[in-house]
Chain A
């Protein structure tokens, strides 16, 4: 079963191949909407039978300022589903579009299926990873926010058409004063084969050094639980593992001082081997690991660094 038509939008040109390819498997017709250089529209046409090019983003405007234009296009196109990459900006665009189109929204889709020519069911995690919900969109148009890796990019046998559809931005009481690139070094935890991860049990930022020594010894990336990145700020946010952070699949994951809340465990479900070090024998991580040691990580981690 396929939907009739899917509209695809993302402020990230790099996300469009995956989203369009997913749309091609789900619907008879894929229409991509591109804001940015014409080259991005032409590139996207490798993956979508029709591309509507809104033009370059106007100087001083925000992507969000194109929500009225997107809503207008969506009303004309009348798609069954709109796919948007689930970035923060994508979530803002989706929410505002949803109101204008009276569309139901499903966030962070893990999979999508068509149940008839106009109705999609979206599966996504809820309750901090404790469950997967199957949500059926009841409105005429629906919106699904999709992260990277859900679909594989697959070019079409022949490129689609690019149609110029110039649109002007419409600001909504928000003026952009400055944009600063983040200085966090980029890290691809999803690709790491070995990961050493820190939880609250590490005790202090200084104490991360003993974990870093172990990581260096065994050639592992450093990661952490959410409180370490968001509560304590000991590590960058792009290093936290869990349902709202990185979902990883290393060969070996070593959890140091991590109690093992469900939100965290979901993020390491794809790990081949989970090793846990924690001083609390009752920590849930010990029910979700392959090898565990109940002990003081200040003693265990340096000893392992030496012995391994």
Chain B
């Protein structure tokens, strides 16, 4: 089975700094691969390890997709090759624009049976790109997939919804978005990290694929939410006296 796994390179939200005017600074933010996308990568790699085939990693975005550390990072997790579409118009794009760009990139990715996406990107988390990509490609598409078993020309999936779990047979080719708990992602070994540098990676641009014009959604402001003011009364240490002191402090709150 040939599998494409989609991923997004995002700023590490731990490094985002809120400025005094409530706007955000990404200046010190390191890049990372979206944490939910890693579950899609792992699911793809596990399927190929069990049933044979190849996994290709696929991303679209701005300059970040050409970051050599990110290329190594994605390839160290098991995909045999990496394909990226780089264009300034794709940086910070909405889900519809991203899905259209991915659909264009898929046409350059050769034969495929299954495309896997994560539950949502870890920056915007719209949880839309996977289903939109499937619909754009005109193939069966589902979200919430929490287990995948390969079959003959199809896969059987378990889909976890709020109150129920469905068992579904999905005809291939298909696009599936997997849940964050479908698997535990692996930590690449030193050998895998070193080997990643030798795997092929292709960067395409607007001259190679037809990119969407304009955006469906435009972000007009991005501000940190007002955080609740807290007292921050701290007791340091867990001796009996300290615990008693802490207990006195919180007891009034629990009356």
Contacts and interface: CB of A to CB of B under 8 A. Distances in A.
Nearest to B239: A295
Interface string B85-121: 0000000001110010000000000000000000010
Given A132-B223, A281-B236, A308-B254, A138 B217 contact: yes
What band does the interface of chain A fall in when counting residues whose beta carbon is under 8 Å from B? Answer: 35 or more
Contact of B96 (A88, A104, A180, A286): A104
Contacts of B144: 88, 92
A266 interface: yes
A128 B34 CA distance: 11
B253 A293 contact: no
A72 to B, nearest CB: 15
B96 A98 contact: yes
Contact of B233 (A131, A181, A291): A291
A139 interface: yes
Interface residues of B, number: 82
A136 B254 CA distance: 44
B168 A92 contact: no
Contacts of B249: 291
B166 A178 contact: yes
B243 A295 contact: yes
Nearest to B136: A99
A126 B232 contact: no
A100 B161 CA distance: 24
Nearest to A274: B230
Contact of B24 (A104, A127, A194): A127
Interface stretch (B48-56, B122-130, B201-209): B122-130
B251 A308 contact: yes
Given A96-B135, A99-B136, A179-B164, A91 B128 contact: yes
B30 interface: no
A290 B231 contact: yes
A165 interface: no
Contacts of B235: 291-295
Chain B interface main SS type: mixed
B247 A107 contact: no
B190 interface: no
Given A91-B131, A281-B236, A294-B237, A179 B225 contact: no
B200 interface: no
A244 B135 contact: no
B123 A126 contact: yes
Nearest to B170: A174
B231 A177 contact: no
A73 interface: no
Interface in B1-48: 11, 13-14, 16, 18, 24
A216 interface: no
B81 interface: no
A139 B222 contact: no
A10 B96 CA distance: 21
Contact of B240 (A129, A132, A294, A303): A303
B125 A230 contact: no
Contact of A269 (B16, B122, B169, B225): B225
A98 B132 CA distance: 7
B127 A275 contact: no
Given A174-B169, A295-B243, A92 B143 contact: yes
Contact of B246 (A87, A108, A251, A291): A291
Contact of B125 (A104, A107, A291, A303): A107
B168 A130 contact: no
B13 A134 contact: no
B161 to A, nearest CB: 5
A69 interface: no
A173 B218 contact: no
B187 interface: no
A265 B246 CA distance: 22
A141 to B, nearest CB: 10
A287 B131 contact: no
B70 interface: no
A13 interface: no
Given A103-B96, A263-B13, 13 more contacts: A98-B96, A104-B94, A104-B96, A105-B217, A106-B126, A126-B124, A173-B170, A174-B169, A177-B167, A180-B165, A230-B181, A231-B181, A294-B236
6 contacts: A106-B217, A132-B225, A231-B181, A252-B254, A281-B236, A307-B247
- The 3 A-B residue pairs with the shortest CB-CB distance, nearest first, are A295-B238, A95-B131, A104-B216
